[in-house]
Amino acid sequence: MVRLTLKSILLFVLLLAGGANAIAADDVMLKPFVLASKSEGTLAEKSAQVKTALTTAGFTVVGEYAPYAGADIIIVTNDELKKNAAASDFGGFGAVQRVAVTEAGKEVQVSYTNPVYMANVYRMQDDLSAVATALTVALGKVEEFGAKKGMTAKKARKYHYMIGMEYFTDPSVLAEYDSYEEAVQAVDAKLANNKNGVSKVYRVDIPGKQESVFGVGLKGGEENKAMDDQFIMSEIDFQDLKSTAHLPYEVLVSGNKVYALYARFRIAINFPDLSMMGKHSFMNIMKAPEAIRKTLQTTVQK
């Protein structure tokens, strides 16, 4: 009888400890980006160092994108990212991480998307904490940024900017083909043609699943600046720490359909504190969501 009681007490203590840990984990405030370092140097030197560090840490560089002067974005994946993408609905959106090297005044900032934050806003099976650790070891971690307070994992999984605006589960259907094979080949070819200012940055195929994610650069110039990466970032990326790793945008082939996250969600997850009106606000890019959707649709349609 005494043994049973002691066993019950021990079990209770363990459950209580586990509950406390769960509460603490749920209280962790996640932010979109991680600052790896700030230092003097040139963009080219830092980019080369970053790529070497990433490949040494087991990441594969799948693409690189320079959206405007003073910015270079390196896109990487690894087996764990692709495995998690395969296990998650629309997991291709989370199959890569983006690492940015940005000139800011006299310093060069190295930053990257926060894997745990992204895993939750994309409602993935695993929280990618191991990927976060690998990026920290490879590049360093000074602080998380991109939001004043951040969000808990629970809130991030249900995030939308405000009432009436899109969730992760409301992507735009850009095109439909007869099969996955036809869709992915067509999208690859169309993006390679660089029409409508849409260029291919990378392609990652999800193993064991009919799903492929493409990174796309968007350059509209004056004629269609509402969808232009440089114009949009000039309006919303105004803080001292640069959120360059917001780019590039994604197009996802899943089955025989082609999707993109609607910009009111895709932009908001990386700029959740952006005000609705005023200087540096969503109002200044109000035409961007439809301009992006229409441009991508025109580019990849059958």
Residues 80-128 have pLDDT tens digits of: 999 999 999 999 999 999 999 999 999 999 999 999 999 999 999 999 9
- ∠ CA 231-236-237, nearest 5°, is 95
Residue of higher predicted confidence among 173 and 6:
173
**C-alpha to C-alpha distances, 38 to 41, 134, 155, 228, 241, nearest whole angstrom:** 10, 19, 30, 27, 10
Q: b vs e for 264-281, b when ≥16 Cβ sit within 10 Å of the residue's Cβ? A: bbbbbbbbbebeeeeebe
**C-alpha to C-alpha distances, 277 to 134, 160, 246, nearest whole angstrom:** 38, 17, 21
By the 10 Å C-beta count (0-12 exposed, 13-18 middle, 19+ buried), 106 is classed as exposed
**Site of tokens 């998690």:** 84
30-300 homologous superfamily: TT1751-like domain (3.30.310.70)
Strands, E, within 105-148: which ranges?
107-113, 143-145
pLDDT confidence bin for 21, thresholds 50/70/90? very low
pLDDT of res. 280: 84
User: Does the bond joining 248 to the residue before it have cis omega, within 30 degrees of 0?
Assistant: yes
pLDDT confidence bin for 24, thresholds 50/70/90? very low
Residues 42-81 have pLDDT tens digits of: 999 999 999 999 999 999 999 999 999 999 999 999 999 9
Computed over every residue of the chain, the mean pLDDT equals: 92
Contact 297, 214 (CB under 8 A): no
pLDDT of res. 281: 85
**C-alpha to C-alpha distances, 188 to 110, 125, 185, 300, nearest whole angstrom:** 30, 27, 5, 9
**Site of tokens 């059958």:** 302
Contact 67, 230 (CB under 8 A): yes
